[in-house]
A and B are shown apart, each in its own frame.
Chain A
Amino acid sequence: MKELTAEDTSLLELVDRLLNKGVVLAGEATISVAGIDLIYLGLNVVLAAVETIEKTQERRAS
């Protein structure tokens, strides 16, 4: 069974807050920085964060 450690969970809870919580100032704010749509940016950060967790899990498994 794929389980999450306390560290994984803590990082994920933080990433969730950074990407999905906080005040949303839509309209006047450019939601893309350097032409990258925030949604994709979010996913990139998600993927990057998740990559770390998966690499750690691989290391643990071996």
Chain B
Amino acid sequence: MTGDLRYLYAVAGANARARVTDANLRGIEGGRVEAIVEGKLLGMTSVVPASDYEQEPLNARLQDLEWLAPRAASHQEVNGRLLDLTDAVIPLAFGAIYRDAEGVRELLRTRAEDFTDRLRAVEGRAEWIVSIERDGSGPPTGGAVGALDAEIAAAPPGRAFLLGKRRDEVIRDERRVRDAAVAEETWATIEAIAERVYREPLIDDPTAAAIARFSVLARRDREVELGDAVRRLGASGASDSYRVRLSGPWPAYRFGGLPSERIASG
């Protein structure tokens, strides 16, 4: 039908067709989510109006948070349901648009091997996000700062000026060291449970609360273990003044998208 395009949410195995069809999912703009099968793969799609989703109008819309937010939520809702309905699903980022069903089929044909590999890598698995935030201004600072404080209290203004700057630098350095230690400990803890851990790049901003974020790929049955580990991290003395959060399970947005490595079977 002219004036319509196909929005692609995710790719799964063709064997999931019955389950996803029976679920009668609704997606963006309330559209019915349909499976388009090609070979051993299927693409989950719905119809969207060209007036909004053609490249130019879409680019303009993407700047508008009010327009984007509910649609991104719909996108995530569909993919979240697919995680429950299938053994393996590769979610796409928001905004994968195709001319028509044939366009989607062609994608599935040309990238068949790639998608098959990626699906195998995430079968029975899900993604979680572990994020670490600074909670408040931090613990009382250590000996070096205390010693400087004493010197500063007794110092004339010129010396106090210079020592005050040094004190600030010492505090920043100590904080960097503490942040790194907490991030290290968290990484080691979740690595022991997860299959893959990816440290997400963060903007280096000393004023920002978030100091680290990890995407974690693990078998779904390790969810409880992961939750327990994160809770223990949050409660430990070492992570005083840090908050460790766990969110998920999500479909594999990060690990479905990383260049697939040949994963040894077994």
Contact = CB atoms under 8 A, between A and B. Distances in A.
Judged by CB atoms under 8 Å, the answer to whether A and B touch is yes
A46 B157 contact: no
Interface residues of B, number: 9
A41 interface: no
Interface stretch (B4-12, B33-41, B159-167, B247-255): B159-167
Contact of A20 (B156, B157, B159, B165): B165
A50 B165 contact: no
A9 B161 CA distance: 9
B156 A50 contact: yes
Contacts, number: 33
Contact of A54 (B156, B162, B166): B156
Interface in B155-214: 156-159, 161-162, 165-166, 169
A15 B156 CA distance: 16
Contacts of B166: 20
B156 A12 contact: no
A42 to B, nearest CB: 9
Nearest to A47: B159
B157 A15 contact: no
A53 B162 CA distance: 13
Interface of B: 156-159, 161-162, 165-166, 169
8 contacts: A2-B156, A4-B158, A8-B158, A12-B158, A12-B162, A16-B165, A50-B156, A50-B158
Given A50-B158, A50-B162, A53-B158, 14 more contacts: A2-B156, A8-B157, A8-B158, A9-B161, A12-B161, A16-B161, A16-B162, A20-B165, A20-B169, A47-B159, A49-B158, A50-B156, A50-B159, A54-B158
